[in-house]
C-alpha cells in the first residue's frame, strides 16, 4: 500500500456530470498529481447544484490536496469559491488588488463590445472575492486561479475550467508556497513504460505473473489502449533495482511484441524509422478513409517523410489515381489481397514514395457477404526491400473496425521498417 499524500480532484460542470461532454481536466490533474508524488485517490465530477458541490468539496478536503476545476465565471451559476468558503468555514472578502486587475481587463472587453462597464462591475466584484487566506496564482480571462490551505490542512488549488487555461495556470499552483510545502513531503515515483502490440491482455497479465508480479515498491498497471497494450510501472524511490529486474523479466518474455519503451505513439516511431533511412512514405486508403494519413500528419515535422495519400473510396478512384486494373477489381473485388497489393504499388509509384501502405476492407454495417463479411480488411505494405501483406478479421462495429485497421497498418509500417533496418 502506498504512503503517498492523497490528492482528490473535483471537476465542476453541468454538461460534464450529465455526460454531454467528456472531462479532460480530471485526467490531466490526476496524472500531474502522480508525477509530483501525490496519490490520485479520486476524481469527482459534479454539476452546479450547490448542495451537491458543497458535499463533494467537504469530502475532498479530507485528502492532503484538493484540486478543483471550473465554476469561476462571473455569473451566479459559478459557485466554486462561495461553496469552498462554506465547506472550509473560511471567510470571504473582496480582494481589492485583484478587483483592480480584473476591472482593467473587463473595461477593455466592455469597450470592444461597446457595452457600459456597469454591466460587468458585479461580475468583476464576484470574481475578485476569495476566501481568507487564499492567494491568486494568475488570471484566466477574468477568472483568478487560487491556492489556499484549508483548516483541515488540505492544500486547495482552484483552477479555471477551460482545459488550456487550466494547464497554463497549473505550474503557478505547483510553485505556490502551500503546494511546495506539501510536495516537500513527497518523493516523486519513477515511471517505466512498455508498449506492446499484437497480443492479448491476458497474455501480458500471465507474463507479469511469471515475472514475479508487482509489489515491493513497484506497481504495475496493464492498460489496453487504442488496440495496443501498455504496461506502466510506477516505481517508489528505493525500488529501482526491483523495477529493473521486473522490467528485464517482462522484456524477455514480451520482446516479440514490444515496440516502445517511451510515450511516443506508433506513428512517431514510423516517422523516425523512415527518416533515419531517408525513405518517403505514402498511403492508399479505402475503408480507413484517411485515418492513417491523419495519424502520420498529426506529428510535427511529418512533411519531411510523408508525401501524401490517395483515399480511394470509389472503385473509379482506385483505377484512375492508383492504377488498379479494372480486371483485378472485377475479378477479385475491391476488398481483396490482390487489390490491396495494386493499391500499395500504385501509391508508391504515383505519389513518388519509397514505402507505401494500403488498406481496403468492409467497415460495415452494410456491404458484408458470407464470403466477405463486415470486418474483413486487407492491408499491404510495399517498400524498397520487398512487401508484406495481412488479412484481418476485425470484430465489432464500423468505428472499431476503422480504428483497429488504422493501428494495424501503422504497426505493419513499423515492422517492415524495423526488420529492414535490422535484417
Residues 83-122 that bind a copy of itself (CB under 8 A): none
Smallest gap from residue 311 Cβ to a copy of itself (A): 4
Exposed/middle/buried for residue 5 (C-beta within 10 Å: 0-12, 13-18, 19+): buried
Smallest gap from residue 124 Cβ to a copy of itself (A): 15
Contacting residue, 215, 314, 330, 369, with a copy of itself by CB under 8 A: 314
User: Among candidates 41, 77, 71, 72, which has minimal Cα distance to 59?
Assistant: 41
Contacting residue, 131, 144, 364, 383, with a copy of itself by CB under 8 A: 364
Query: Which range binds a copy of itself by CB under 8 A, 38-46, 81-89, 132-140, 377-385?
Result: 38-46
- Bridge pairing between strands 65-69 and 129-132: unpaired
Contacting residue, 69, 127, 302, 358, with a copy of itself by CB under 8 A: 302
187 binds a copy of itself (CB under 8 A): no
Query: Which range binds a copy of itself by CB under 8 A, 88-96, 123-131, 323-331, 394-402?
Result: 394-402
Site string for a copy of itself, 228-267 (x = CB under 8 A): --x-x-----------------------------------
26 binds a copy of itself (CB under 8 A): yes
Q: What are phi and psi of 148, to 5 degrees?
A: -155, 165
- Bridge pairing between strands 6-12 and 65-69: parallel
Size of the site for a copy of itself (CB under 8 A): 83
Question: Of all helices (H) and strands (E), which one includes residue 111?
Answer: helix 96-113
Exposure string for 340-363, b = 16+ CB within 10 A, e = fewer: bbbbbbbbbebbebbbbbbbbbbb
**Residues 145-174 within binding reach of a copy of itself (CB under 8 A):** 164
* Residue 379 · residue 392 · CB < 8 Å: yes
**Residues 279-298 within binding reach of a copy of itself (CB under 8 A):** 280, 283, 285, 287-294, 296-298
Which three three-digit cell numbers place residue 261? 519503451
Smallest gap from residue 218 Cβ to a copy of itself (A): 14
- Bridge pairing between strands 65-69 and 155-159: parallel
Smallest gap from residue 302 Cβ to a copy of itself (A): 8
Judged by beta carbon, residue 194 or residue 293, the one nearer a copy of itself is 293
Query: Which range binds a copy of itself by CB under 8 A, 126-134, 168-176, 177-185, 305-313?
Result: 305-313
Contacting residue, 98, 159, 207, 351, with a copy of itself by CB under 8 A: 351
Helix (H, G, I), strand (E, B) or coil at 151: coil
Which three three-digit cell numbers place residue 245? 529486474
- Those residues with Cβ within 8 angstroms of residue 386's Cβ, 6 or more apart along the chain or in another chain: none
Amino acid at each position: 500500500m502506498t504512503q503517498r499524500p492523497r490528492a482528490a480532484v473535483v471537476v465542476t460542470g453541468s454538461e460534464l456530470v450529465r455526460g454531454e461532454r467528456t472531462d479532460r481536466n480530471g485526467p490531466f490533474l490526476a496524472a500531474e498529481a502522480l508525477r509530483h508524488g501525490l496519490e490520485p485517490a479520486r476524481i469527482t465530477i459534479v454539476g452546479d447544484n450547490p448542495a451537491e458541490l458543497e458535499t463533494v468539496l467537504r469530502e475532498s478536503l479530507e485528502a492532503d490536496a484538493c484540486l478543483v476545476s471550473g465554476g469561476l465565471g462571473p455569473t451566479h451559476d459559478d459557485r466554486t469559491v462561495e461553496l469552498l468558503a462554506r465547506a472550509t468555514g473560511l471567510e470571504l472578502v473582496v480582494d481589492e488588488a485583484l478587483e483592480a486587475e480584473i476591472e482593467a481587463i473587463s473595461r477593455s472587453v466592455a469597450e470592444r463590445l461597446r457595452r457600459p462597464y456597469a454591466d460587468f462591475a458585479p461580475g468583476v466584484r464576484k470574481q475578485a472575492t476569495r476566501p481568507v487566506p487564499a492567494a491568486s496564482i494568475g488570471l484566466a480571462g477574468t477568472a483568478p486561479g487560487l491556492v489556499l490551505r484549508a483548516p483541515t490542512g488540505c492544500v486547495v488549488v482552484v483552477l479555471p475550467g477551460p482545459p488550456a487555461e487550466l494547464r497554463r495556470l497549473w505550474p503557478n499552483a505547483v510553485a505556490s508556497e502551500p503546494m511546495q510545502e506539501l510536495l516537500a513531503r513527497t518523493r516523486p515515483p519513477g515511471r517505466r513504460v512498455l508498449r506492446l502490440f499484437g497480443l492479448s491482455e491476458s497474455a501480458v497479465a500471465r507474463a507479469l505473473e511469471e515475472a514475479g508480479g508487482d509489489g515491493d515498491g513497484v506497481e504495475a498497471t496493464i492498460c489496453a489502449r487504442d488496440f495496443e497494450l501498455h504496461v506502466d510501472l510506477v516505481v517508489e524511490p528505493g525500488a529501482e533495482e526491483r523495477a529493473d529486474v521486473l522490467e528485464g523479466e517482462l522484456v524477455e518474455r514480451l520482446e516479440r511484441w514490444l515496440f516502445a519503451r517511451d510515450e511516443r505513439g506508433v506513428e512517431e516511431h514510423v516517422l523516425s524509422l523512415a527518416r533515419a533511412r531517408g525513405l518517403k512514405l505514402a498511403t492508399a486508403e479505402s475503408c480507413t478513409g484517411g485515418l492513417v494519413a491523419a495519424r502520420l500528419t498529426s506529428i510535427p515535422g511529418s512533411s519531411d517523410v510523408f508525401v501524401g495519400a490517395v483515399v480511394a473510396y470509389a472503385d473509379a478512384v482506385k483505377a484512375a489515381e492508383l492504377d488498379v486494373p479494372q480486371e483485378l477489381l472485377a475479378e477479385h473485388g475491391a476488398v481483396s489481397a490482390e487489390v490491396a497489393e495494386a493499391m500499395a504499388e500504385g501509391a508508391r509509384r504515383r505519389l513518388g514514395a519509397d514505402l507505401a501502405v494500403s488498406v481496403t476492407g468492409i467497415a460495415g454495417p452494410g456491404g458484408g457477404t458470407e464470403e466477405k463479411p463486415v470486418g474483413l480488411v486487407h492491408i499491404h505494405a510495399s517498400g524498397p526491400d520487398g512487401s508484406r501483406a495481412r488479412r484481418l478479421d476485425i470484430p465489432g462495429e464500423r468505428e472499431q473496425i476503422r480504428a483497429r485497421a488504422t493501428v494495424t497498418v501503422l504497426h505493419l509500417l513499423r515492422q517492415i521498417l524495423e526488420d529492414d533496418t535490422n535484417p
